[in-house]
Structure 1
């Protein structure tokens, strides 16, 4: 274990939940997050349903966009507010109920073991339940993101993460929107020496849940275009490609708290 993989104090964080038309699931998601973290921010990205009303009465901080601005802007606004609340790190999870809040302490435990790392809740447990088109799109994105990072990344498209303060500062300066934003965070963090570690989680893919906002073809094309530009500007970064294929990813199965 290297010196940057130990930390005397446990990591802490504020939970940020971006949500767009999640009235069916968001209350249960927010309630579960509150059971493991005292500070929860829900960002309603201009929903046309009752997403905001669904969290009424809960001890969450609600940020509401008057019109949809995209997941990237929802995350940015949540990040900024979390910093105003004094957060030294931010936990994120999607508002559709795909992620279990009970896994957030496991991400925090990994953050404590690997300080100055982004921690991804990697959907490795029960992966066969993931829709085939999503699994294919995620695999393609993982290849390109790993190349640009110079490190093999497991589940680069998962929205359940822990970002240390340094990663949040980097994220707030990035230009892209949509799912490109979450991929670019990992790449830009890697360029600044902030690596990524993954914690296996199980995601829920219930049939009644609304369709994923992630569109495998459209979003992977956008992610690939962004990464291709970075690779071309960097002279293809063939050393990064070799490392991403030869060096095993950092996957740590932290116990439930």
Structure 2
């Protein structure tokens, strides 16, 4: 009985991909399912060769993205491997070694409620610059969002229980953002994340990757950037009102307190509603979250007034002082709201 199935999404593979799969089929006894993500007629001979190796190949005509391919494969495996207990996903671009894939297959995983990740360690001297920068940014933003420090948020080497596939199919995303959405949504649903170290491999400086820097980066960061947009739009209202009032009432400590308070109250009401409904999709009622937000609001109000007053004595610019202070408060506010106020 085959308890684990290996799922590999593939888009426009090459001879190296075929060579690796040939070695993989010789070394491993688990069923392998490859999803042809609309690679086109030019690449069909490679997928036909895969089938001669005993690999199940699923194909469709148009390219939809990695997330779509993973969901397509998961649905097939759920329907055709009823005796299987676990699913391992891996990339086809040469970034996972045979030993690491086998390590994931052999590693024990509970029947449900846990996600196992094969994580790489990124060192600047050994990693292409765009990959190193992208990974550092995503790791920091993911930590701020969830409180979980994960050194490799983009790893495609993952292990799930087949019981969890219906939950995985409900997660949004059809391209590279799907795997990030897994990491954002599953912990909030009670899933535990476990990691094992794997080898960091970049063949030909990662030139074989189909990752679209601008489009796919936007999709990956979209869940995290939503909060930034809400906060920036609130800050525009806050800053405009503050500057206008400071010009009218002056720049004494008392005047700055009035200007800060009035501007923050109006922008705070807007910010609370957009964060509760749009950003964090809070399932709590307003009564449950409003008093917590109120405490945070008053604390930020006090710290903003004190900070702006203090900085203004050193740099003699209320505008610059406001930007510096509120930029620091923004980071703290995001973490507190995500983890304490609107956490589902």
Q: CA deviation at 1:173?
A: 0.9
Are 1:106 and 2:106 an aligned pair?
A: no
Structure 1 residue aligned with 2:19: 28
- Greater percentage in helix: 2
Q: Which one of 175, 179, 192 corresponds to residue 189 of structure 2?
A: 192
Structure 2 residue aligned with 1:40: 32
State which drifts further: 67-76 or 81-90: 81-90
Question: 1:221 is paired with a residue of what secondary structure?
Answer: helix
Aligned 8 A contact 1:45 1:64 in 2: yes
Q: CA deviation at 1:121?
A: 1.2
Larger radius of gyration: 2
Structure 1 residue aligned with 2:7: 16
- Listed one character per residue, the Cα deviations across residues 64-106 of structure 1 (whole Å, up to 9, x for unaligned) are 1112111111101111112121232211111122211321232
| Distance in 1, Cα, partners of 2:201 & 2:179 | 21
| Distance in 2, Cα, partners of 1:70 & 1:30 | 21
Q: CA deviation at 1:126?
A: 6.9
Q: Which one of 50, 54, 76 corresponds to residue 55 of structure 1?
A: 50
RMSD of aligned Cα (Å): 2.9
- Greater percentage in strand: 1
Aligned 8 A contact 1:44 1:65 in 2: yes
Question: 2:9 is paired with a residue of what secondary structure?
Answer: strand
Structure 1 residue aligned with 2:269: none
Aligned 8 A contact 1:146 1:241 in 2: no
The gaps in structure 2 that reach 5 residues or longer are: 228-274, 283-292, 294-333
Q: CA deviation at 1:31?
A: 2.6
- Listed one character per residue, the Cα deviations across residues 227-251 of structure 1 (whole Å, up to 9, x for unaligned) are 3447732484527569xxxxxxxxx
The alignment covers a number of residue pairs equal to 232
- 1:53-92 maps to which residues of 2 (within 5 A)? 53-84=48-79, 85-86=81-82, 87-92=84-89
TM-score by length of 2: 0.60
Question: 2:117 is paired with a residue of what secondary structure?
Answer: strand
Structure having greater relative contact order (Cα 8 Å, sep ≥ 6): 1
